[in-house]
Amino acid sequence: MVQPSPYTPGEIAHDVPGRADHLDRVADLLAAMSARRRLAGRVHVFVGPRGVGKTSLLREAQRQAQAAGHATVFVTAGHGDLVASLVEALGLGPLRWQPHTVASRLREIGVSVGLPGAKVEATFAPGEGATVVRRLEDLFRATAREVLDDAGAGAVIFVDELQAADRNGIQALAYAWQHLQAEPEGVPIALVCAGLGHTEDVVTDAASFAERFAYRQLGSLDEAATREAVTAPATALGVSWETAAVTEVVQRTQGYPYFVQLHADGVWRAAGRPDAGAVLTVDHVDSARAGIAEDLDALYRSRWSKASPSEQRFLTAMAGAHEPVVRRGDIAATLGVTTGSLGMARRSLMDKGLVEVAGHGLLSFTVPGFRDFVRESADVDEGRSR
């Protein structure tokens, strides 16, 4: 019997090897919240580049929270206003309002509602910001009461792509959470988020008290976790990996979770979607190489095309540096501009997930191999752009 690939490149993974510590943090947070029946004051935010499994981690945390008796909602920021998304998710989730009641409640907190399927937008008229915050606090309290009445352990709000949320929405959420911390009893709610590496900057720009948020870095997997991510899905289907084949995949992927899934999936397909009892070998790894290279090239080209011409010049200057971690001053010198003038391009490239902060005044590419792609595409050699 031909078995479909158990690997999920570009999809939400069902297992998150190497992330036990992060899941334990969430579990401890929720256990304390439900035991004390009070607000989980610190907001946990997992940050990292695209492709490291942030969404998969949130979804696994959501599954575990539900198994522990918590009511949950999941919101992806960037698709309309954050406040509207939260209200709608809570109304159709823990509060189980009927659609017309949800629309009424949305209007109460200053949210305009169009026809079914139309975009929902939060309106913040001058002087109404404080009212929206208070209404959002009321909504959280109502959610807590409903959960407790149903004998639930608590409620957990998951927000993905937090860096893409609108400024007003982040500000309203942050202030509502801050106010609830003054009276946490009887409000067993937790907020767990994920976002790109510069999410802390985005939140701080909207609300200055960033200490309310605990940022946890999510990076590439270590060798042991990479080996587990390669072998465990196959083992579950009765297929084993040759040790040398696993080592080859580990070396090629550098622990980058998306690449791990992409390479392992390519090997599985090269082996003809093997039956139970089969062994994946180095020959299968070699056979998969051309197809994987095409997939990687498509990924790199897609990311390159997201950059504007000025941003591509920025990326080319980065790729032309002698080291993969580049000083902003060196980028400015290569481009013949001041460091201050790089701000807009730098922020835009971070918003697009192409570069990330690697230290004070330092930047690096987010995806393994993209630096080499840019060097080849822009004909960069020996630390200089031609």
pLDDT in tens, 56-68: 999 999 999 999 9
- Tell which residue, 193, 190, 214, has the closest CA to residue 38: 190
Q: Residue 196 class from Cβ within 10 Å (0-12 exposed, 13-18 middle, 19+ buried)?
A: buried
- Confidence (pTM): 0.88
Sketch the domain layout of the chain as residue ranges.
20-217, 223-304, 307-385
E strands, 77-142, are 111-112, 121-122
pLDDT of res. 207: 87
pLDDT band at residue 97 under the 50/70/90 scheme: low
Q: Are 245 and 251 in contact (CB under 8 A)?
A: no
The rounded distance, in Å, linking the Cα atoms of 241 and 227 is 10
The rounded distance, in Å, linking the Cα atoms of 247 and 226 is 10
The rounded distance, in Å, linking the Cα atoms of 109 and 105 is 7
> Does 106 have pLDDT greater than 80?
no
> Does 11 have pLDDT greater than 60?
yes
The rounded distance, in Å, linking the Cα atoms of 25 and 209 is 22
Which CATH class for the 20-217 domain?
Answer: alpha beta
Angle, helix 257-270 to helix 282-306, in steps of 10 degrees: 130
Which CATH class for the 307-385 domain?
Answer: mainly alpha
* Token pair listed for 174: 């942050």
Q: Are 162 and 207 in contact (CB under 8 A)?
A: no
Residues 141-195: tens digit of each pLDDT: 888 888 888 888 999 999 999 999 999 999 999 999 999 998 889 999 999 999 9
User: Strands 355-359 and 362-365: what pairing?
Assistant: antiparallel
Q: Residue 151 class from Cβ within 10 Å (0-12 exposed, 13-18 middle, 19+ buried)?
A: exposed
pLDDT of res. 164: 96
The rounded distance, in Å, linking the Cα atoms of 94 and 147 is 7
Helix (H) or strand (E) holding 46: strand 43-47
User: Is 223-304 in CATH node 1.10.8?
Assistant: yes
Per the prediction, the chain carries an average pLDDT of: 88
Q: Are 85 and 79 in contact (CB under 8 A)?
A: yes
Helix (H) or strand (E) holding 201: helix 199-206
